[in-house]
Chain A
Amino acid sequence: MSPVLPPHQAQRLATQPGWAQEYEAILEAYRQAGGDPALLRTPQFATLVVSANRVLAANEVPGVHFEAEELPDGIRARILVEPEVRLKRPVHLCFGMLPAEGVQEIHAEYEIGPGAQMEFIAHCTFPNALRLKHLMDARIQVGARATMIYHESHFHGPHGGIEVIPQAKVMIDDGGRFITDFSLIHGRVGKLILDYEVTVGADGVAELTTKAYGLGDDTIRVNETLHLNGERARGLTKTRIAVRDRAISEVFTTAEGNAPFTRGHMDCTEIVRDQATARNMPLVVVRDDRARVTHEAAIGSVNRKELETLMARGLDEEAAVDVIIRGMLQ
């Protein structure tokens, strides 16, 4: 892999007709996904914009480095944060595809150096998807005492013709923190297969939040595993899913307390309406008698009292259900 285009070159390329058009279109899609395109043009922000298999723009800042290699169906990227680097501003990532059909594979490696603190805001946008597959395969190394916060939100358009496969293997060194939230609540889910596996070292912390809203014949499968391997490691999975129509949701979470004084908790809430189906299978594994792992799950229809409260404010039932679901998914 080679370093991605330096900012001035990327900007210059972005002004060429073909690139410029795609760049503007992906920025518009980014805006629809909830991002602020102005930030992607701000030199003070580290940014990376990828459309299909092309890096349309990249902006490094001191301490943050991008390397990228274009593949036939995507890119291979390496994102490196130097030790002890602490940026006030988050790194903005934009991945997407504008065509209705195709494949995008993002193979990403993140290395957060010891003591560094970095927040990433990733927007993945596929506004026209009809027959599209998006694979995000990440290897993440969070160094000792480092913190990585990673927000990923998706925007899929109204058709549901998309398969999204976010996968991550995360290693958290001693005292490191990894906090992530994945959100797919705008547009149709299509088919989501999320698979995160996190190994936490001593005094490390992992918090995984996943939110999705399935409609029509969408399918959602969430598979999250926490290996709490170091002493006093802590981990939390928090899943919030709503399914309506004929959508199906399956949530598999595993938390292993493998070392003394580890603490794990899995918290899953799913709302089911119409003919939709939701399953939740938490698995607790404890290999040390000083570890403690707990789980709580609630699957059901919308809480009657919440519903009636909103209806007593004048909302009809459908609108009230939507408010409750969107609130839960916020």
Chain B
Amino acid sequence: MPEKDEYLLRVENLSLKRDGREILSQVNLNIRPGEVHGLLGLNGSGKSSLAYTLMGCAGYTPDTGRIWFAGQDITALPISERARLGLTLAWQEPARFEGLPVGAYLALGAKDADPKRLAEALEAVALPPRAYLKRPLDPTLSGGERKRIELAAVFLMRPKLAILDEPDSGIDALTLNDIAALIRRMADQGSAVLLITHRDEMVTVADVASLMCQGSIIFQGAPAEVRRYYGLRCRPHADISGPQPWGEAQGLEARTLAWGDNRR
């Protein structure tokens, strides 16, 4: 790894098998500081597995490859230490905590747990603070509400890199704009974002995007380019060992990008 790396996150040849099945295959991914990086892929393509592996979740220790973050090899670090370095994850289906009020939850990882900041974060995800700060973070909240609270918590952490796993799923159409605005706001405050989604319109908020299929990143480029490729060619493909549809893409060259090639 270079002494002064221009990338905040550098993933090298990451592979992971679970129950004998290859979940991630030779994944390479670079993210610059402050960059919003869209990761597009169909359901089951390995996006969430990559997120859990990057975060260091139980059962997601890579078989091969390295993860470098902020100049440090974090491949073997526990979740807490990764978080302290500035990496965090918003789960696709966030956990619920019986008895823990929303305000207390938001304050847990916040850089600044000032009540005004907590309220501001809730407003940023279109939740009125008065109605939510004291509410328990339990099953009485809908999936969409819980998701928005998770995004507010990540926003308050001001991480170096936030991995947002499908922040758009379960969110009503009106709130999608707020979520997109929040992602840009996170970038403005200096956080890089790995935006995981299967909705191609969502990656328009990104600076650069990657396409994931069958556990591998198969294409990287400008969001519009990745969207087009996704729309034209990306289909569920049951047999990873057989001929792959993306190899036949017309008008777009499927590329495995060299480091540094993914920002334009």
Partner-B contacts on A (CB < 8 A): 240, 269, 303-306, 308-317, 320, 323-324, 326-330
Residues B70-126 near A (CB distance < 8 A): 78-80, 82-84, 88-89, 91, 94-100, 108-109
Tell whether, in the assembled complex, residue A328 and residue B78 are in contact, meaning their CB atoms are under 8 Å apart: no
Shortest beta-carbon distance from A183 to chain B in Å: 12
Tell whether, in the assembled complex, residue B84 and residue A330 are in contact, meaning their CB atoms are under 8 Å apart: no
Chain A residue with the shortest CB-CB distance to B86: A314
With A314-B157, A315-B108: A309-B100 Cβ-Cβ less than 8 Å? no
Tell whether, in the assembled complex, residue A329 and residue B157 are in contact, meaning their CB atoms are under 8 Å apart: no
Shortest beta-carbon distance from B28 to chain A in Å: 23
In the bound complex, CA of A85 to CA of B99 (Å): 32
Chain A residue with the shortest CB-CB distance to B110: A313
Tell whether, in the assembled complex, residue B109 and residue A313 are in contact, meaning their CB atoms are under 8 Å apart: yes
Tell whether, in the assembled complex, residue A315 and residue B97 are in contact, meaning their CB atoms are under 8 Å apart: no
* Supplied contacts A312-B109, A313-B88, 9 more A-B pairs, CB within 8 Å: A309-B94, A310-B108, A312-B55, A313-B109, A317-B80, A324-B97, A327-B98, A327-B100, A330-B136
Tell whether, in the assembled complex, residue A303 and residue B80 are in contact, meaning their CB atoms are under 8 Å apart: no
Tell whether, in the assembled complex, residue A327 and residue B99 are in contact, meaning their CB atoms are under 8 Å apart: yes
Which residues of the other chain, A, contact B96 by a CB distance below 8 angstroms? 306
CB < 8 Å A-B pair total: 66
Which residues of the other chain, B, contact A269 by a CB distance below 8 angstroms? 98
Chain B residue with the shortest CB-CB distance to A319: B80
Partner-A contacts on B (CB < 8 A): 55, 57-58, 78-80, 82-84, 88-89, 91, 94-100, 108-109, 136-137, 153, 157
Tell whether, in the assembled complex, residue B99 and residue A328 are in contact, meaning their CB atoms are under 8 Å apart: yes
Which residues of the other chain, B, contact A310 by a CB distance below 8 angstroms? 108
In the bound complex, CA of A176 to CA of B88 (Å): 50
Instruction: List 9 tightest A-B contacts by C-beta distance, closest first.
Output: A313-B109, A330-B99, A327-B100, A311-B79, A327-B99, A314-B83, A306-B95, A305-B95, A309-B95
Tell whether, in the assembled complex, residue B95 and residue A303 are in contact, meaning their CB atoms are under 8 Å apart: yes
Tell whether, in the assembled complex, residue B99 and residue A308 are in contact, meaning their CB atoms are under 8 Å apart: no
Chain B residue with the shortest CB-CB distance to A329: B99
SS of A interface (majority): helix
With A314-B109, A314-B157: A309-B98 Cβ-Cβ less than 8 Å? no
Which residues of the other chain, A, contact B78 by a CB distance below 8 angstroms? 311, 317
Which residues of the other chain, B, contact A327 by a CB distance below 8 angstroms? 97-100, 137
Shortest beta-carbon distance from B239 to chain A in Å: 32
A-B contacts, 26 listed (Cβ < 8 Å):
A240-B98, A269-B98, A303-B95, A304-B58, A308-B55, A308-B57, A308-B58, A309-B91, A309-B94, A310-B108, A311-B83, A312-B82, A312-B89, A312-B109, A313-B83, A314-B88, A314-B109, A320-B80, A323-B97, A327-B98, A327-B99, A327-B137, A328-B99, A330-B99, A330-B100, A330-B136
Which residues of the other chain, B, contact A326 by a CB distance below 8 angstroms? 99
Tell whether, in the assembled complex, residue B88 and residue A312 are in contact, meaning their CB atoms are under 8 Å apart: yes
Which residues of the other chain, B, contact A311 by a CB distance below 8 angstroms? 78-80, 83
Which residues of the other chain, B, contact A308 by a CB distance below 8 angstroms? 55, 57-58, 79
Tell whether, in the assembled complex, residue A316 and residue B80 are in contact, meaning their CB atoms are under 8 Å apart: yes
In the bound complex, CA of A326 to CA of B57 (Å): 23
Tell whether, in the assembled complex, residue B91 and residue A313 are in contact, meaning their CB atoms are under 8 Å apart: no
Tell whether, in the assembled complex, residue B91 and residue A305 are in contact, meaning their CB atoms are under 8 Å apart: yes
Tell whether, in the assembled complex, residue A306 and residue B80 are in contact, meaning their CB atoms are under 8 Å apart: no
Which residues of the other chain, B, contact A306 by a CB distance below 8 angstroms? 95-97
Which residues of the other chain, B, contact A317 by a CB distance below 8 angstroms? 78, 80
In the bound complex, CA of A324 to CA of B95 (Å): 11
Which residues of the other chain, A, contact B137 by a CB distance below 8 angstroms? 327
In the bound complex, CA of A323 to CA of B108 (Å): 9
Chain B residue with the shortest CB-CB distance to A325: B99
Shortest beta-carbon distance from B40 to chain A in Å: 23
Tell whether, in the assembled complex, residue B109 and residue A315 are in contact, meaning their CB atoms are under 8 Å apart: yes
Which residues of the other chain, B, contact A313 by a CB distance below 8 angstroms? 83, 88, 108-109, 153, 157
Shortest beta-carbon distance from A241 to chain B in Å: 13
Chain A residue with the shortest CB-CB distance to B162: A312
With A310-B108, A323-B108: A315-B95 Cβ-Cβ less than 8 Å? no
In the bound complex, CA of A329 to CA of B98 (Å): 8
Chain B residue with the shortest CB-CB distance to A313: B109
Tell whether, in the assembled complex, residue A315 and residue B80 are in contact, meaning their CB atoms are under 8 Å apart: yes
In the bound complex, CA of A311 to CA of B97 (Å): 14
Which residues of the other chain, A, contact B88 by a CB distance below 8 angstroms? 312-314
Shortest beta-carbon distance from A57 to chain B in Å: 33
Chain B residue with the shortest CB-CB distance to A309: B95
Tell whether, in the assembled complex, residue A312 and residue B95 are in contact, meaning their CB atoms are under 8 Å apart: no
Instruction: Kindly identify which residue among B58, B84, B95, B136 contacts A314, using a CB–CB cutoff of 8 Å.
Output: B84
Which residues of the other chain, A, contact B58 by a CB distance below 8 angstroms? 304, 308
Which residues of the other chain, B, contact A240 by a CB distance below 8 angstroms? 98
Shortest beta-carbon distance from A80 to chain B in Å: 35
